[in-house]
Structure 1
């Protein structure tokens, strides 16, 4: 569902208030956070979708990684997971459904969490995902509000999954392309999150704001960060890490409908200083599946994070992509 449709559905709803509800729906954050004690807060999220790859096992992995990402984006660690499964049980081979569930289970195990059950219904189209419960210290939550002037913005995965999967459906990409994007989408955001939590606990940096990049594209999620932080976020489009071939495909006009919908919706809050009809601009709106973390933190902390990821042989390009400007109009600048 696009951001405009979702906004209309939620408009006017009275949001709950509770002194222990530390993060609710009001700031469009990645998950809800509820304080249990002075030392423990509960993170709650869920995510599910239809298949974007043909392989059932890989689909299960990707759907699970995508759901788990919200907990990492809040600075927490996943604890318990429950399956969400809708499937055409009478027409789909049972082995394929088992492979979907097995893919999700393997990714939950990789995250160090426990699968404790789930819910399934019969449906005409396959859908799969997870409800995830995580834990975080109440004083160490990474919300999407709080970005500060002088911070830099770090992106931990390359962009382009929406464009490449569109090309895949149209027969315009190779088997190697398919393998690359499947591996990317199945990669947990665990390593960058754990390194950064260790840095925060060691006192070498602070995280002022964080989110992950999913269906609303980089610009959409940065808009939410800008609005929650009352800051302007400046993005150097030339510095964005991209999947190989994504820019070439965008220049050919291979752009998913979701990217156009994102651009149309977020246009009022974006200042674009790029040439008209820039293909690079569309990559900033490209809807991602299981995308990377976007982090607002001091420059020294960003440099240390990137260096440590490189030392750990992190398999994906990541980079400083921009900076946070002074308080004022909450907007995103593409330059």
Structure 2
């Protein structure tokens, strides 16, 4: 029997995230919680919703901690495992760090889907961790009505050279390292079973080289583009940095077939919620509705969004002095 994993979940990939506005409400009361005898200096926590937590443990050494997991974004379990692992590791790269060790997080409907499929997903995750030079050691599993997989990742970084979402300043260019559109193509895949090899290639490509290039060039402001879409992550970066992000929509790279998928209605609920959340803080009158949805498309294992330039990245706009909206799209 051939199983289509995407049919066993209500959504897929990072489009399953709790909407950003609701999430911010939930965690708003946690920022004041502090340990009585901390083991190190907390450099990045909950305040600006950055990609990973960072703690200085001594001198210039920082430990990074993050976790990410989600329901199947594609039907093939091995590809799903690779995508989920690359996505989780991306949070460490988005902070300018190196992943050191990860543990599996597996939720499985044991009476519905055979464990052979879970084994394939775990194998895909192990393959990507191996490619990243990151140890994969153990993990945790639970019986769950929906399949879910991901990683908890610990990494290290230079505490004085972190990539953060609150360090943008006017005059810096905005660069994107991967094209947008995996969200709408994954939604189409879920509905039609069509396979989009380019989207899978994008989602399984690590952000390690881009991260190293950014740190090497002295870039200090970055985030990765995942479930909140380009507009959502831009809004968070600009808000945290006290600037406005101006985007040239024509410069934003898109996957083949992405615009057609939007025209044909393959748009996830997560993408629509992203746009609803950002719209009050953005100037979007310069683009049509389809383009706005693509810019808000919930990405899974997307690229790095950098306040600076590196080889191979596409310049899509710039940061300017705060002038009302956090994001302006032309």
User: Aligned runs of 1:128-207 on 2, under 5 Å?
Assistant: 128-171=149-192, 174-175=194-195, 178-197=196-215, 200=216, 205-207=217-219
TM-score, normalised by the number of residues in structure 1: 0.88
User: Aligned runs of 1:101-112 on 2, under 5 Å?
Assistant: 101-112=122-133
Distance 1:132 1:13 in 2: 21
Partner residue in 2 for 1:2: 19
Q: 2:261 aligns with which of 241, 246, 249?
A: 249
Q: Note if 1:321 corresponds to 2:316.
A: yes
> Shift in Å at residue 136 of structure 1?
0.4
Partner residue in 2 for 1:265: 277
Partner residue in 2 for 1:315: none
> Shift in Å at residue 131 of structure 1?
0.3
Partner residue in 2 for 1:215: 227
Q: Note if 1:72 corresponds to 2:83.
A: no
Partner residue in 1 for 2:14: none
TM-score, normalised by the number of residues in structure 2: 0.90
Q: 2:44 aligns with which of 18, 23, 32?
A: 23
> Shift in Å at residue 280 of structure 1?
1.1
> Shift in Å at residue 274 of structure 1?
1.8
> Shift in Å at residue 125 of structure 1?
1.3
Q: Note if 1:294 corresponds to 2:305.
A: yes
Report if the CA contact (8 A) 2:219-2:307 is conserved. Answer: yes
Report if the CA contact (8 A) 1:163-1:255 is conserved. Answer: yes
> Shift in Å at residue 328 of structure 1?
4.9
> Shift in Å at residue 39 of structure 1?
2.2
The C-alpha deviation readout for 1:190-233, integer Å capped at 9, x for no partner, is 12112333xx2xxxx32131000011000100111001100000
Which 10-residue stretch deviates more, 258-267 or 17-26? 17-26
Q: 1:240 aligns with which of 252, 264, 268?
A: 252
* Aligned residue pair count: 309
Distance 1:14 1:109 in 2: 35
Distance 1:132 1:332 in 2: 31
Distance 2:221 2:285 in 1: 25
> Shift in Å at residue 182 of structure 1?
1.5
SS of the residue aligned with 1:145? coil
Report if the CA contact (8 A) 2:162-2:220 is conserved. Answer: no
| Aligned residues: CA RMSD | 1.6
Q: Note if 1:228 corresponds to 2:228.
A: no
Mark the CA change 1:253 to 1:123 in structure 2 (over 3 Å): closer, same or farther: closer
> Shift in Å at residue 330 of structure 1?
5.9
> Shift in Å at residue 5 of structure 1?
2.1
> Shift in Å at residue 169 of structure 1?
2.1
Report if the CA contact (8 A) 1:235-1:323 is conserved. Answer: yes
> Shift in Å at residue 255 of structure 1?
1.9
Distance 1:146 1:296 in 2: 9
Distance 1:223 1:88 in 2: 36
> Shift in Å at residue 167 of structure 1?
1.5
Partner residue in 1 for 2:15: none
SS of the residue aligned with 1:36? strand
